[in-house]
């Protein structure tokens, strides 16, 4: 068995080396049409990254030009210093004087199948109405507005309305629990929460307003809650605090001039998992984020005026911020949005949507592709997918098998695939093929984009030779870089700028092959990647020890064919508490309630004690091996005795 697996991975490795050059037909019309063109662009950008980004920023509208392109003192970057702009103006108003005025900006489909389209003109009007509604609630520039919504157009409207008036939005994924929402509201000091009665998910209603009611009880900074009527479920309204979206906007004026904001004005906070239990509020600012998001959207996706672009991410994640909302709108593109679950009502939902809306660029996560692969190619085969011309992936490494399936059964062997590496912290794509220029190798995100100084280095910061592995870093600041962790500048410095001297450390390990292509090996800190979503092991551990029966816990990831990684929790119980399958279920639900269902452990394993080193550190490597090997599977109630294992391990060290 072991041998079989080894052989398989060796053969996969050799196949990995196969590269897929862009077709002549695709390259002909691409914005960067050849390997040489990319190399030239990269060389120029490497000579002067500031000149490169300066030119990119000039393609957008600024009320006042900047004095200085970059001001940099580790770890604080300021881009386009002194410039004044507005992101909502660049996404909307800028397109209203030309042929894009009546072009579809958003095509939205609800899970039950309702379709709504907003032109740029219509979207502009909705944004102005809602911006004035927020102003009416007393929201001022710099105030934090939390958005906890289903994936509906109004979520994008609320984001753009904040950007218009200079409020800082903090989108919290609708799948997060009331407790997780409350923590984020408190950390950000949000004064307003925008939500909906409920949202659709797998044919059922997710009761968002109920969660908000619970969260706000413990969040004293929240003064007002705006509720969109969407799923029509019964909710309770607190007249002193809650406002219906439709009533507020019915009274509001449709005229709302954009605030002329400083390039470094805070744009949004987005929480993500780090290696400690407390989620980090990643802060992005206006001018730099706008510039890199616009550039990458245009060139990584080789965007054309007639494209219909569908990014399947929720706006609760950074991918939804940069490539569902801002990237497409900054470029005057047409974006598709889908509220619901991918397999509802049938496994061919996505393919039916691609066909019905003539989607030409499709951007999704490897975990979704693996799910579709498992369900079988007969589902995409039922639909005409000939409108597609480019595919993308994001969020985790894609295994070559899934890559080839995607290429063949979705892309008809005709569409290039861009495997894009980036993070919540980087704000926009950093490492990726340019589809008309870069030969793809399945499983590799290929090369750093022009203007991005990413590399694989050793612990001292020295670049590793071709063919070796190390830490993935970025040497110089880039425009859409996070500026800080909200309220914790010290954690920002320590987390990102102290591990490898003078460089931004991504938290990922990577390998550089003989052609300089980068292969992401995954996180090397205590962060898990489950279905492309980041989870911190210690966040789940602290949720578990919050249960009165639990004495101690250690959470690790085990490889999972479908989800990339699965959460395995080792748990020791307090004296007198008896392990049982019911308790296991209870604890799984307990975590789901504390954080959200994405964090629900796939497996709980009870143990008498956790294996620890002499200094008391949990031996995670050992637990990971045990979790991966599944040696003690079966009877889940068995108490595992790590005493001997730990002793053996210590003797080895
Ligand atoms: C992982 C998502 C391999 C990586 C945009 C990173 C990837 C983390 C890729 C960030 C990719 C993202 N190939 N791994 N193309 N894209 N990752 O913040 O470990 O949710 O550090 O941002 O996802 O996840 P985040």
CA-closest residue to ligand 1 atom 15 = 421
- The pick from 534, 564, 598, 599 for probing ligand 1's pocket by mutation, whose C-beta has the most ligand atoms within 8 angstroms, reads 534
Among the atoms of ligand 1, which is closest to the Cα of residue 424?
Answer: 18
pLDDT of the residue at 619: 80
- The pick from 449, 520, 536, 563 for probing ligand 1's pocket by mutation, whose C-beta has the most ligand atoms within 8 angstroms, reads 520
pLDDT of the residue at 637: 43
- The pick from 315, 396, 480 for probing ligand 1's pocket by mutation, whose C-beta has the most ligand atoms within 8 angstroms, reads 396
Whether 557 is in a domain gets the answer yes
616: CA distance to ligand 1 center in Å?
31
Q: Would the pLDDT of 7 be above 70?
A: no
114: CA distance to ligand 1 center in Å?
32
Among the atoms of ligand 1, which is closest to the Cα of residue 520?
Answer: 3
The mean pLDDT value of the chain amounts to 92
d(CA 295, CA 327): 8
d(CA 185, CA 221): 8
Whether 124 is in a domain gets the answer no
395: CA distance to ligand 1 center in Å?
4
Angle at 302 between CA 56 and CA 505, to 5 degrees: 60
pLDDT of the residue at 626: 87
Residue matched to tokens 């990995």? 16
Distances (CA, A) of 362 to 265, 322, 352, 525: 32, 15, 13, 31
pLDDT of the residue at 575: 86
**Residues 6 or more apart in contact with residue 24 via CB below 8 angstroms:** none
384: CA distance to ligand 1 center in Å?
31
Q: What value does the mean pLDDT take over residues 177-190?
A: 96
Whether 333 is in a domain gets the answer no
- Write phi, then psi, for 226 (nearest 5 degrees): -105, 130
Q: Per the structure block, which two tokens stand in for 109?
A: 């489909």
pLDDT of the residue at 586: 96
Which segment of 14-28, 154-168, 345-359, 532-546 scores lowest on mean pLDDT?
14-28
Q: What value does the mean pLDDT take over residues 168-194?
A: 97
pLDDT of the residue at 644: 54
pLDDT of the residue at 618: 79
414: how many CB neighbours lie within 10 A of its CB? 16
pLDDT of the residue at 13: 45
Among the atoms of ligand 1, which is closest to the Cα of residue 534?
Answer: 20
Share of the chain above pLDDT 90, in %: 85
Q: Would the pLDDT of 617 be above 80?
A: no
Q: Would the pLDDT of 631 be above 60?
A: no
- The pick from 422, 446, 510 for probing ligand 1's pocket by mutation, whose C-beta has the most ligand atoms within 8 angstroms, reads 422
Q: What is the dihedral of CA 259, 263, 265, 269, to 10 degrees?
A: 110
d(CA 43, CA 424): 27
Q: Would the pLDDT of 18 be above 90?
A: no
Among the atoms of ligand 1, which is closest to the Cα of residue 393?
Answer: 15
Cis peptide before 75 (omega within 30 of 0): yes
Q: How many domains does the chain have?
A: 1
Q: Would the pLDDT of 311 be above 80?
A: yes
386: how many CB neighbours lie within 10 A of its CB? 12
Q: What value does the mean pLDDT take over residues 389-408?
A: 96
d(CA 629, CA 14): 25
Whether 281 is in a domain gets the answer no
Which DSSP letter does residue 359 get?
A: -
d(CA 304, CA 389): 11
Q: What value does the mean pLDDT take over residues 508-520?
A: 95
Q: What value does the mean pLDDT take over residues 465-484?
A: 97
Q: Would the pLDDT of 9 be above 90?
A: no
Strand 518-523 to 527-530 pairing: unpaired
Whether 582 is in a domain gets the answer yes
Distances (CA, A) of 363 to 167, 313, 347, 357, 418: 29, 8, 18, 15, 9
pLDDT of the residue at 2: 35
Q: Answer yes or no: are the C-beta atoms of 264 and 287 closer than 8 Å.
A: yes
Which segment of 77-91, 136-150, 333-347, 626-640 scores lowest on mean pLDDT?
626-640
pLDDT of the residue at 12: 40
Among the atoms of ligand 1, which is closest to the Cα of residue 425?
Answer: 18
Q: Would the pLDDT of 91 be above 50?
A: yes
Cis peptide before 56 (omega within 30 of 0): no
Whether 630 is in a domain gets the answer yes
d(CA 258, CA 87): 9
pLDDT of the residue at 474: 98
pLDDT of the residue at 16: 53
pLDDT of the residue at 632: 44
pLDDT of the residue at 17: 67
- Write phi, then psi, for 423 (nearest 5 degrees): -145, 165
- The CATH code of the domain that includes 631 is 3.30.300.30
Whether 49 is in a domain gets the answer no
368 sits in which H/E element: helix 366-375
386: CA distance to ligand 1 center in Å?
29
| Cα end-to-end distance, the chain, whole Å | 29
For residue 640, what pLDDT band results from cuts at 50, 70 and 90? low
pLDDT of the residue at 642: 62
CA-closest residue to ligand 1 atom 5 = 423
Whether 9 is in a domain gets the answer no
Overall pTM surpassing 0.85 (yes/no): yes
Among the atoms of ligand 1, which is closest to the Cα of residue 317?
Answer: 20
Ligand 1 pocket (Cβ < 6 Å) reads 272, 317-319, 394-397, 419-424, 445, 506-508, 520, 522-523, 529, 534
Nearest-CA neighbor of 104 among 363, 352, 358, 392? 358
Render the burial of 20-54: b for 16+ CB within 10 Å, e for the rest: bebeeebbeebbbbebebbeebbeebeeebbebbb
**Residues 6 or more apart in contact with residue 383 via CB below 8 angstroms:** 348, 351, 352, 354, 355
- The pick from 282, 312, 394, 395 for probing ligand 1's pocket by mutation, whose C-beta has the most ligand atoms within 8 angstroms, reads 395
8 exposure class (CB count in 10 Å sphere: 0-12, 13-18, 19+): exposed
230: CA distance to ligand 1 center in Å?
32
Q: Would the pLDDT of 243 be above 50?
A: yes
603 exposure class (CB count in 10 Å sphere: 0-12, 13-18, 19+): middle
The pLDDT tens digits for 66-84 are 999 999 999 999 999 999 9
pLDDT of the residue at 651: 42
Q: Would the pLDDT of 36 be above 50?
A: yes
Q: Is 226 left (phi over 0), alpha (psi -120 to 50) or beta?
A: beta
Q: Would the pLDDT of 3 be above 90?
A: no
d(CA 504, CA 18): 31
532: CA distance to ligand 1 center in Å?
7
Q: Which domain holds residue 581?
A: 547-652
Among the atoms of ligand 1, which is closest to the Cα of residue 527?
Answer: 19
355: CA distance to ligand 1 center in Å?
29
pLDDT of the residue at 486: 98
49 sits in which H/E element: helix 49-58
Which segment of 359-373, 388-402, 617-631 scores lowest on mean pLDDT?
617-631
């Amino acid at each position: 068995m072991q041998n079989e697996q080894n052989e398989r991975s060796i053969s996969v490795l050799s196949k990995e080396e196969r590269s897929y050059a862009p077709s002549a037909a695709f390259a002909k019309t691409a914005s960067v049409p050849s390997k040489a063109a990319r190399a030239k662009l990269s060389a120029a950008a490497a000579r002067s990254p500031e000149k490169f980004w300066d030119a990119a920023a000039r393609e957008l509208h600024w009320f006042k030009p900047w004095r200085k392109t970059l001001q940099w003192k580790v770890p604080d970057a300021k881009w386009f210093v002194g410039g004044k702009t507005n992101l909502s103006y660049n996404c909307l108003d800028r397109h209203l004087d030309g042929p894009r005025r009546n072009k579809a900006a958003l095509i939205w489909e609800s899970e039950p199948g309702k379709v709504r389209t907003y032109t740029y003109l219509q979207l502009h009007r909705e944004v102005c109405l809602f911006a004035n509604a927020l102003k009416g609630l007393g929201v001022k520039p710099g105030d934090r507005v939390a958005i906890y919504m289903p994936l509906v157009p109004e979520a994008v409207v609320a984001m753009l309305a904040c950007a218009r008036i200079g409020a800082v939005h903090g989108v919290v994924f609708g799948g997060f629990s009331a407790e997780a929402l409350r923590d984020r509201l408190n950390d950000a000091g949000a004064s307003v929460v925008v939500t909906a009665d409920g949202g659709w998910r797998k044919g059922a209603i997710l009761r968002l307003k109920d969660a908000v009611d619970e969260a706000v009880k413990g969040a004293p900074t929240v003064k007002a809650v705006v509720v969109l009527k969407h799923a029509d479920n019964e909710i309770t309204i607190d007249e002193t605090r809650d406002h219906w979206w439709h009533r507020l906007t019915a009274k509001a004026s449709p005229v709302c001039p954009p605030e002329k904001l400083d390039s470094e004005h805070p744009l949004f906070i987005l929480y993500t998992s780090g290696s400690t239990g407390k989620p980090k509020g990643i802060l992005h600012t206006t001018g730099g984020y706008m510039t890199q998001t616009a550039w990458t959207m245009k060139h990584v996706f080789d965007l054309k005026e007639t494209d219909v672009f569908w990014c399947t991410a929720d706006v609760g994640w950074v991918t939804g911020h940069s490539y569902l909302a801002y990237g497409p709108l900054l470029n005057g593109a047409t974006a598709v949005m889908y509220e619901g679950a991918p397999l509802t009502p049938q496994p061919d939902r996505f393919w039916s949507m691609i066909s019905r809306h003539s989607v030409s660029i499709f951007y999704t996560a490897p975990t979704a592709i693996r799910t579709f692969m498992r369900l079988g190619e007969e589902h995409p085969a039922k639909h005409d997918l000939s409108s597609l011309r480019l595919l993308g992936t994001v969020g985790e490494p894609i295994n070559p098998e899934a890559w080839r399936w995607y290429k063949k059964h979705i892309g008809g062997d005709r569409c290039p695939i861009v495997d894009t590496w980036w993070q919540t912290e980087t704000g926009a794509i950093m490492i990726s093929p340019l589809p008309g220029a870069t030969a793809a190798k399945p499983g590799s995100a290929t090369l750093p984009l022009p203007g991005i100084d990413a590399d694989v280095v050793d612990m001292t910061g020295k670049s590793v030779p071709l063919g070796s592995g190390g830490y993935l870093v970025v040497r110089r600041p880039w425009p859409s870089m996070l500026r800080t962790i909200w309220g914790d500048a010290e954690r920002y410095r320590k987390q990102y700028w102290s591990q490898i001297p003078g460089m931004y450390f991504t938290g990922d390990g990577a390998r550089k092959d003989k052609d300089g292509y980068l292969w992401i090996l995954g996180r090397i800190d205590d962060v898990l990647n489950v279905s492309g979503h980041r989870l911190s092991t210690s966040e789940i551990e602290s949720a578990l020890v919050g249960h009165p029966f639990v004495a101690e816990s250690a959470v690790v990831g085990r490889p999972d064919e479908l989800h990339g990684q699965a959460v395995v929790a080792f748990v020791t119980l307090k004296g007198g508490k008896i392990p049982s399958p019911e308790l296991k279920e209870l604890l799984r639900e307990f975590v789901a309630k504390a954080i959200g269902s994405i964090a629900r452990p796939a497996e709980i394993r009870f143990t008498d004690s956790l294996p620890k080193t002499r200094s008391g550190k949990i031996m995670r490597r050992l637990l990971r091996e045990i979790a991966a090997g599944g040696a003690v599977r079966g009877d889940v109630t068995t108490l595992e005795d790590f005493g001997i294992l730990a002793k053996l391990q210590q003797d080895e060290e």
